[in-house]
Structure 1
Amino acid sequence: MKTNLTLIGMPGSGKSTVGIILAKNLGIGFIDTDILIQINEQQTLQQIIDTTDHLNLRAIEEREILKLNVTHLVIATGGSAAYSEKAMAHLAQISTIIFLHVSFSELNRRIKNFATRGIAKREDQSFEELFDERQVLYNRYADIVVPCEGLNQDQVADEIIARLYPNGCCLLNQ
């Protein structure tokens, strides 16, 4: 049985916040691959993009994901993790992959710092174009899709647990 849960989705979809709540509710650990990148590279995601480019950030993200050899964790990925077939195949081997689906209009409302947030995208790419491009990838790799519209982060975490454990059993580390 896979003991990890991986959250995928757009920037602003709540992966980090929901991940922490989910880990707490399940009594397991939590890691955020964006934070791993920043620790290991000693730069913010935006600094990596500014000094190199978005493709380098994606390559670093793939490398960090492929290094994961963990159990009993909720893993929040960066929004661009789904661009790497290798990374997603690795995550599929070690975890159940959950796509936090949030509408474009809601994401647009939530994200005010699109240009400086460290989002791995082409310079000429709009947020809407990025959204459309990534939806296909997230749906391809997801074991579970959770529509998050109208739900707060606690409700999203509860929905994930309800889908994973319809009979009420909810500890991955048992």
Structure 2
Amino acid sequence: MNKESVVLVGMPGAGKSTIGVLLAKELAKDFVDTDVLIQLREDKTLQQILDETDYMNLRRIEGEVLQDADLPNCVIATGGSAVYSEPGMARMRELGPIVFLKCSADELRRRIHNYETRGIAKRPEQSFADLFAERQALYERYADITVECDAKSQEVILSELKSQLD
């Protein structure tokens, strides 16, 4: 049996957690959301961490959580800002292929209605458009596999992702 993990990256709202749970069931793997690992470690929500400190502190914590991750045979949904941590992403790559769930900015705007309170690690003045542009290049840099997610059902995304993993 394949003990390799699968690592999902992408913007908040791209479907990492939703697709991740479905993929984990299909592949008989555990599912882990690294945002939850951060919250458990810090005993705070991501938004509380941002409110009490700042986005750079959240990114630092996220990088540490990724570097410390020992997650064999898992589907791992990373936080949207995971790609800012080079050592963290190097650790993720050791665990398995990195899959970019790619959505357009318009699609993400339709899906995310709580941009300001979602716990997104961004500069205080940074717009969604600027954050989107900045992160796209990072997701593409790390991705072994890219799945276009716009206007597709969860079933279609899952099917395309599984065929690329085979």
TM-score of Structure 1 vs Structure 2, range by shorter chain: over 0.9
Q: For 1:119 and 1:70, locate their aligned partners in 2 and report how far apart those are by CA, in whole Å.
A: 24
SS of residue paired to 1:100:
strand
Unaligned runs of 5+ residues in structure 2 are: none
Structural mapping, 1:7-22, within 5 Å? 7-22=8-23
Deviation digits for residues 9-52 of structure 1, max 9, x if unmatched? 00000000000000001111110000111111111000000000
Counterpart amino acid of 1:37?
I
SS of residue paired to 1:69:
coil
2:72 aligned residue: 71
Counterpart amino acid of 2:127?
S
Counterpart amino acid of 2:138?
L
Deviation digits for residues 41-96 of structure 1, max 9, x if unmatched? 11100000000000000011011111111211000000000011111111111110
Alpha-carbon deviation of 1:135? 0.3
Counterpart amino acid of 2:142?
Y
Q: TM-score, normalised by structure 1?
A: 0.92
Counterpart amino acid of 1:108?
R
2:35 aligned residue: 34
Alpha-carbon deviation of 1:2? 6.8
Structural mapping, 1:89-128, within 5 Å? 89-128=90-129
Structure 1 runs of 4+ aligned residues shifted over 4 Å read none
Alpha-carbon deviation of 1:154? 2.4
What is the identity percentage for the equivalent residue pairs of Structure 1 and Structure 2?
52
Counterpart amino acid of 1:57?
L
Q: For 1:92 and 1:153, locate their aligned partners in 2 and report how far apart those are by CA, in whole Å.
A: 25
Q: For 1:150 and 1:163, locate their aligned partners in 2 and report how far apart those are by CA, in whole Å.
A: 19
Q: TM-score, normalised by structure 2?
A: 0.97
CA RMSD of aligned residues (A): 1.0
Aligned length: 165
2:150 aligned residue: 149
The answer (yes or no) to whether the contact 1:97–1:142 under 8 Å persists in 2 is yes
SS of residue paired to 1:125:
coil
2:135 aligned residue: 134
